[in-house]
C-alpha cells in the first residue's frame, strides 16, 4: 500500500467544480474580470502564507494536512449558511481521521473506508453546496499520509488549521446568493452512491494491482465527471481528456525552461485555474490545471512520464464513469417503459 504522496489537493482548487451552476464545458472565451483575478490571487496567496508558516513552525506533515483540508473545503466559502459551513468542516475532519486510521491497516481496510465514504456522501443533505463529492480522494490522501511517518496529531492539527482558514475567509467574504437546492430523488442518490462506491473500489484496487502511482488523480477525475448530470458526463469526460492533452504538451514545453521559470509559471497557472473555474470556464481551467499539477508534483519520474500517467488516469476515470452512467441508464429503462 505504500505510495508516494502526490498533490491531488491542487485539483481541488476548483471552487467546487461540479457544483458551479455557471460552469460551461463548451465555453471558449478567455476573458476574466479583474475581480475574478484578484480573488484568485488572494486565495492562492493566503494558502501559500498559511501553509508556509505551518511547515516552518510545525512541520511538513501538518502543512500537507492543512493543504488537503483547505482545498477540500474551498467551496464552503460560498455556502449560504453557517450551518452548512460547520457541517462541512466536521465532515472533512471525519474523513481525514478515518483515512489516517485505515492507512496502516492494509488494502482491504482502505477499500472498505473508500466505499463507506462514497455511500455516505451521496446522502449528505445539509445544503447541496456542501455536497463534497471528492471525499474518497481526501480519505485516500490521508491514508497515504499515515504511511509516510506522520503522526495523528500532526494530521488533525493541519486539518484544523486548513478548516480555520476557510471559516475565517468565509466570515470576511460575502457569500453568494444561491437558489434553493432542488430535492434530489432517493433513487438518484442510491444510483449515485452505488456507481461512486463501485467505481472508486475498482480504481483503487486496480491501481494497487497494476502498481499505478497516481490513483488519486484517477479517483478525482472520476468523482468530478460523475458529479454532473448524466447528460453532461460525456461532455465533461471529453473536456478533461482534451484539456489534459493540451496541458501535458504545455507542461513539457515549460519543463525545458531553466529554473526557477517552471515554478514561477506553475504559480501563475494555479492562479489562472482558480480564476477560470470561478468564471465558469471549464475548458481553460483544465488547460492550466494539468501543467500546474505536473510542474508541482515531486516525483522520481520525468516530465514526459508524468504526462503519460496524467493522461492514463483521466482516460481510465472517464471510461469507468461513463460505464457506470450507462449501467444506471440501462437499469432504469425497463422501469420507465413499464
Question: Over the stretch 293-309, which tens digit does the pLDDT of each residue have?
Answer: 788 777 777 888 888 98
DSSP E strand stretches across the chain: none
pLDDT at 333: 67
| CB atoms inside a 10 Å sphere around CB 210 | 10
Please give the Cα distance from 146 to 158 (Å, whole number).
13
- Cis peptide preceding 260, ω within 30 of 0: yes
Please give the Cα distance from 248 to 150 (Å, whole number).
32
pLDDT at 292: 82
Please give the Cα distance from 170 to 88 (Å, whole number).
13
Tens digits of residue pLDDT in 51-80: 888 889 899 999 999 988 887 887 676 666
Segments of the chain scoring below 50 in pLDDT:
1-27, 126-131
- The C-alpha angle 224, 303, 294, rounded to 5 degrees, equals 30
For the chain, report the end-to-end CA distance as a whole number of angstroms: 47
* Residue 93: closest CA among 140, 139, 47, 149: 139
- The C-alpha angle 318, 23, 297, rounded to 5 degrees, equals 55
- pTM for this structure? 0.79
Task: DSSP letter for 30, please.
Answer: -
pLDDT at 303: 80
The helix or strand, by DSSP H or E, that contains position 325, with its residue range, turns out to be helix 303-337
Please give the Cα distance from 195 to 225 (Å, whole number).
12
Please give the Cα distance from 97 to 111 (Å, whole number).
15
Amino acid at each position: 500500500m505504500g505510495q508516494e504522496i502526490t498533490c491531488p489537493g491542487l485539483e481541488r482548487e476548483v471552487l467546487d467544480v461540479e457544483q458551479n451552476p455557471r460552469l460551461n464545458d463548451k465555453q471558449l472565451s478567455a476573458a476574466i474580470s479583474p475581480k475574478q483575478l484578484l480573488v484568485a490571487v488572494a486565495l492562492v496567496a493566503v494558502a501559500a502564507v498559511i501553509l508556509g508558516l505551518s511547515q516552518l513552525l510545525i512541520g511538513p506533515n501538518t502543512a500537507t494536512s492543512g493543504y488537503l483540508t483547505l482545498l477540500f473545503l474551498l467551496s464552503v466559502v460560498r455556502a449560504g449558511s453557517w450551518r452548512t459551513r460547520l457541517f462541512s468542516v466536521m465532515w472533512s475532519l471525519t474523513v481525514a481521521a478515518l483515512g489516517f486510521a485505515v492507512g496502516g491497516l492494509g488494502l482491504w481496510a482502505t477499500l472498505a473506508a473508500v466505499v463507506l465514504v462514497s455511500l455516505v456522501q451521496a446522502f449528505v443533505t445539509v445544503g447541496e453546496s456542501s455536497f463534497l463529492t471528492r471525499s474518497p480522494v481526501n480519505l485516500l490522501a490521508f491514508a497515504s499520509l499515515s504511511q509516510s511517518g506522520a503522526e495523528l496529531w500532526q494530521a488533525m492539527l493541519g486539518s484544523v488549521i486548513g478548516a480555520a482558514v476557510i471559516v475565517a475567509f468565509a466570515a470576511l467574504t460575502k457569500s453568494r446568493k444561491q437558489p434553493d437546492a432542488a430535492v434530489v430523488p432517493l433513487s438518484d442518490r442510491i444510483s449515485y452512491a452505488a456507481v461512486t462506491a463501485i467505481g472508486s473500489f475498482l480504481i483503487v484496487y486496480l491501481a494497487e494491482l497494476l502498481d499505478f502511482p497516481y490513483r488519486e488523480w484517477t479517483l478525482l477525475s472520476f468523482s468530478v465527471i460523475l458529479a454532473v448530470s448524466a447528460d453532461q458526463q460525456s461532455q465533461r469526460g471529453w473536456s478533461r481528456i482534451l484539456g489534459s492533452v493540451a496541458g501535458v504538451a504545455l507542461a513539457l514545453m515549460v519543463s525545458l525552461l531553466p529554473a526557477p521559470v517552471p515554478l514561477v509559471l506553475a504559480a501563475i497557472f494555479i492562479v489562472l485555474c482558480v480564476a477560470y473555474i470561478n468564471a465558469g470556464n471549464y475548458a481553460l481551467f483544465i488547460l492550466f490545471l494539468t501543467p500546474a499539477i505536473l510542474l508541482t508534483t515531486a516525483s522520481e519520474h520525468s516530465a514526459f512520464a508524468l504526462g503519460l500517467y496524467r493522461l492514463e488516469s483521466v482516460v481510465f476515470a472517464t471510461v469507468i464513469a461513463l460505464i457506470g452512467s450507462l449501467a444506471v441508464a440501462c437499469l432504469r429503462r425497463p422501469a420507465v417503459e413499464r
